[in-house]
Amino acid sequence: MQFTAAQISVIINGKIEGNPDASVVSFGKIEEATNDQLSFLANPKYEDYLYKTHAAIVIVNNSYELKQPISTTLIRVEDAYSSFAQLLSKYQQMVTQQMKGIEQPSYIAPTVQLGTDVFIGAFAYMGNDVKVGDNSKIFPGSYIGDNVYIGNDVVIHAGVKIYHGCVIGNHVTIHAGTVIGSDGFGFAPQADGSFKKVPQIGNVIIEDHVEIGANTTIDRATIGSTLIKAGAKLDNLIQIAHNVEVGNSTVIAAQVGVSGSTKIGNNVMIGGQAGLVGHIQVADGSKINAQSGVSKSLKTPYAAVTGSPAYDYTSALRSQAIFRNLPDLEKRIKELEELVKQLLAEKVNSL
């Protein structure tokens, strides 16, 4: 697919400086782009590459001031990074929209309801009473259990497993290998020391505009629903336990583990490898540093925590500063002790 600077500027509401007929067929990094590619400059660290790039078109911020002559066509926008992401998304949509129909071999139960322009990849399995909305794409090797609902414009990548009764909203992307709706970790201890499984009869609900990374697992609720609310973004290799709620537009980085029945608010940011115990609440806007261990509820909105157990981020920085100075403090204390001894000795000798 080929696009001109004029066409691109309309999509991202940009202003052209240079040749409006300059055309591109793909994307490239500014330091590596060829003369048929589009790139962008948002980070000043890469500014020098703008004057050397072979890219046919480069997206830059409105505020950027040229320091040297350039050979490329510029498109100026308010936010170059966001505009470039918008173009990538548009390009991806155009590619996936071309995918339609049902590849064979695959199994689709007679009671499945498919919307218009749906794609089902080879070796997919779709159980009884599954419903799939318009323009959704289910890639090869996926498993969709009985009574699953999938909305419009959903992309389910290869090897995803969605257990029975789960609900996937509109404009959701689920990456390869993710499992949604497996049993929550529920076992009741018995008098003889054994554990009896507690049936997990709830489901998982994924609301609109959620993206879930590869090999993430989201357990079904014991009763009720495990809930991922609209706009949330989950990275790869995350464990979400039964009856957890993840708030609107919350982002969670890789290898985070969230224990059962924890409620995470809106616009929360959780760094990689953090762990949250069960049955706590995390206030809206909280920021949890990477590798933190959250052992109690975070009740103050928009506060940051770090460490294990996690506590106030600013206090943690002060503590770290003091810790780094301990050798020097120890030396000063020893010097003060010696000085005190000398003063005492002089006082005794003067009596």
Residue ranges with strand state E in 237-324: 239-240, 245-246, 251-252, 257-258, 263-264, 269-270, 275-276, 281-282, 287-288, 293-294, 304-306, 311-312
CA–CA gap between residue 193 and residue 196 (Å, rounded): 10
> Which among 48, 47, 3 has a CA at the least distance from the CA of 25?
3
CA–CA gap between residue 126 and residue 102 (Å, rounded): 12
Can you tell me whether residue 238 is helix, strand or coil? coil
Residue 278, Cβ density class (10 Å: 0-12 exposed, 13-18 middle, ≥19 buried): middle
Backbone angles phi, psi at 160, to 5 degrees: -70, 140
Give the pLDDT confidence score for residue 330 in this predicted structure: 87
> Which among 223, 222, 252, 224 has a CA at the least distance from the CA of 239?
252
From the list 157, 171, 175, 242, the catalytic residue is 242
pLDDT tens digit sequence for 55-87: 999 999 999 999 999 999 999 999 999 999 999
Residue 347 clears pLDDT 80, i.e. is over it: no
173 close to 153: Cβ distance less than 8 angstroms? no
pLDDT tens digit sequence for 287-318: 999 999 999 999 999 999 999 888 687 777 77
Kindly report the pTM of this predicted structure.
0.82
CA–CA gap between residue 211 and residue 241 (Å, rounded): 17
> Which among 279, 276, 248, 249 has a CA at the least distance from the CA of 262?
279
Is 54 one of the catalytic residues? no
